[in-house]
Amino acid sequence: MAAVQEMARLQRMLFEVEREFVRTATTFIPRVGEVELKYLLCQHVWESAGHARFIRERGREMSGFGKGDSVCESYRTVFEEAIRVDDPLVGLAAFYQILKPALLSAYRHYLEATHHLADWPSRKLVEEFIVDEKRHLNEIEPYLEGVEAGESGERFKGALDSLGGWLGERESTPLPEDFKWIGKEIPYRHPETCNRGDYPVCSSAYGYDPAEFPIVRSWMEDPKTDARVIRLTIYIWLMMELDAVDYLATVFYDTPDASFDMHFDLARHLWDESRHSAFGYKQLPKFGVDLSKLEHSLELYNILIHMSPPERYAMMTMEFEASSFPTKAIIMDRVRELNDFEADTLLAFDRNDEQQHVRYGHRWLPEIMKLFGEEGPVDAFVESAKARFNELAKTHGTKTPHSLPADERITGNTLLKIAGVA
């Protein structure tokens, strides 16, 4: 069984690398400003979670893969080192110019080391993952043009070289005697607010004054509101789900001892939210909305980052998403009046995904609570999280001023004009 156990050992190492990529690459999502880069990172995280899942399923069929989902300290230390950079693009350069190419090399090494017929099921998985890894490197390239990992990258490369590559497939190079692990000395902290690059920002896009806010709450359920305005409003609402992308991304890093199954579902949840945001991001310009005039609301991130991971997750799944269904049902009915097949399709998938996210909440919130020593009924915890959220909102909920004056930014009154009903 030695041959089987050796291949299972390598598979275990590949699983751990992919899993740790998912946990740490997500820290860059709220830190980078380019919207489409956030979307791409969410896609890569989801695909990497898929790699890890398939490797684990195959590995469990083989003797020697091991039980549990833990990641060895040596791998975790390298990834921890790579996220502690001031410039998130430099950090991404380290991931995509050093750590991910090393993973690609590790997958290629696996193909060379295993038997083409005896280990055929594993080979077919690895061949697919190689295609994905090469695509990941190509897809990220435009966002890292002119960016180098530099001196920091040399540190990360040295740390990886000390392992001899992810699979120990090459000769290891000892670290210099004076090498210090920054990750062991400086705790990582999520940013106080999320980065939106050159886009204008504000505290909230939701309100009741059509001269102030683009999403006018009273209009969404008012039968007198023109369906064309409802369609524009829901696309803005969907685009603003980018805030969910930013704050959900923080939960991965904060739960290093969570089961991989939880992180797998969180990765799917994250990718879903990025797609929902992209629904609005892609559709709004088609209707004449200038995205450079549409302010991004930062309120939810600014509040939730001051809450514990279980509180963040509770607010997201059991409050924000669970409470959105009645209003979104009305909006779906109204948009259907327009005979817009694309809009109907996007809203239907959004609704389906959000229902799944609430199911994730019911499944995983109790587990996250346990990780942080939270005892007692889940319902009581959710109520306490809501109360704390409301208290924190007084301090952190209105701290982002409008980037643009009212006569320049997109408001409800602007949407009336765009829809042709003003």
For the domain that residue 132 is a member of, what is the CATH number? 1.20.1260.10
Residue 412 has pLDDT above 90, yes or no: yes
Q: How many other β-carbons are positioned within 10 Å of the β-carbon of residue 319?
A: 16
Whether residue 24 is found in the same domain as residue 132: yes
Per-residue tokens: 375 = 């005892």
81-90, 129-138, 365-374: the lowest-pLDDT one? 81-90
Same domain? 256 vs 401? yes
pLDDT at 1 over 80: no
Q: 127 pLDDT exceeds 80?
A: yes
Structural domain ending residue among the three candidates 124, 157, 185: 185
Angle, helices 260-283 vs 242-254, to 10°: value is 160
* Residue 99 neighbours by CB distance under 10 Å: 24
Mean pLDDT rounded to a whole number for the chain: 95
Q: Band of the pLDDT at 148, cuts 50, 70, 90?
A: confident
**Are residues 205 and 166 both part of a single domain?**
no
Q: What pLDDT, on the 0 to 100 scale, is given for residue 149?
A: 84
- 43-58, pLDDT tens digit by residue? 999 999 999 999 999 9
Q: Kindly report, residue by residue over 313-333, the tens digit of the pLDDT.
A: 999 999 999 999 999 999 999
**What is the pLDDT confidence band of residue 154, given thresholds at 50, 70 and 90?**
confident
**pLDDT score for 156:** 85
Give the mean model confidence (pLDDT) for residues 102-113: 96
Q: Is residue 192 part of a domain?
A: no
Of the chain, the percentage scoring pLDDT greater than 90 comes to 91
- Domain, as residue range, for 37: 2-185
From residue 122, alpha-carbon distances to 129, 169, 294 in Å are 11, 18, 48
Split at pLDDT 50, 70, 90, the class of 177 is confident
- Do 246 and 99 share a domain, yes or no? no
| Same-domain pairing of 167 and 286 | no
Whether 87 is covered by a domain: the verdict is: yes
Mean pLDDT of 7-28: 97
Same domain (yes/no): 179, 216: no
Same domain, 316 and 379: yes
What is the CA angle 418-337-325, rounded to 5?
90
Domain boundary among 160, 185, 210: 185
Please indicate, yes or no, if residue 326 is contained in any of the structural domains. yes
Let me know if residue 196 belongs to a domain.
no
Instruction: Scan for tokens 């990360």, then name that residue.
Output: 156
Q: What is the mean pLDDT of residues 28-36?
A: 98
In this structure, is residue 195 part of a structural domain? no
Task: Clarify whether residues 180 and 205 are in a common domain.
Answer: no
Mean pLDDT of 26-53: 98
- CA 355 to chain centroid, in Å, comes to 18
> By the 8 A CB rule, do 52 and 29 touch?
no
Question: How many domains are contained in the chain?
Answer: 2
Claim to verify: residue 288 and residue 253 sit in the same structural domain: yes
Q: What is the pLDDT of residue 178?
A: 85
**Mean pLDDT within 228-240:** 97
Q: Tell me the pLDDT tens digit for each residue of 83-104.
A: 999 999 999 999 999 999 999 9
**pLDDT(422) > 80:** no
Residue 163 domain-assigned? yes
The last residue of a domain, from among 134, 159, 185: 185
Tell whether 173 and 311 lie within a shared domain.
no
Whether residue 263 contacts residue 22, with contact meaning beta carbons closer than 8 Å, is answered with yes
Assess if residue 404 is contained within a domain.
Answer: yes
The model's confidence at residue 362, banded by pLDDT at 50, 70 and 90, is very high
Residues 96 and 213 in one domain: no
The upper half-sphere exposure of residue 136, i.e. CA atoms within 13 Å in the direction of its Cβ, equals: 27
Mean pLDDT of all residues in 224-252? 97
Which of 299, 350, 306 has the alpha carbon at shortest distance from 329? 350
Whether the per-residue pLDDT at 185 is higher than 90: the answer is no
> Is the CA virtual torsion 264, 265, 268, 270 positive or negative?
negative
Indicate whether 249 and 346 sit together in one domain: yes
Q: How far apart are CA 89 and CA 18, in angstroms?
A: 20
Instruction: Note whether residue 190 is domain-resident.
Output: no
